[in-house]
Amino acid sequence: MPRMTLDDVKAMTADWITPAVAANVLKMDSGRLIEYARTGQLPFATRISGNRVKICRKSFLEAYGYGEEAKKEPTTEQLMEQMAAEIRAIKELLINAVQKGGT
Residues 63 and 17: beta-carbon distance below 8 Å: no
Q: Which of 80, 22, 31, 32 is nearest to 54 (CA)?
A: 22
31-52 pLDDT, tens digit each: 999 999 999 999 999 999 999 9
4-34 pLDDT, tens digit each: 999 999 999 999 999 999 999 999 999 999 9
Sheet arrangement for strand 52-56: 16-17, 52-56, 46-49
Domain boundaries, the chain: 6-63, 72-103
Alpha carbons 27 and 42: distance in angstroms, whole number: 15
pTM, two decimal places: 0.64
Rg for the chain, CA atoms, rounded: 25
Q: Which of 15, 12, 16, 11 is nearest to 37 (CA)?
A: 16
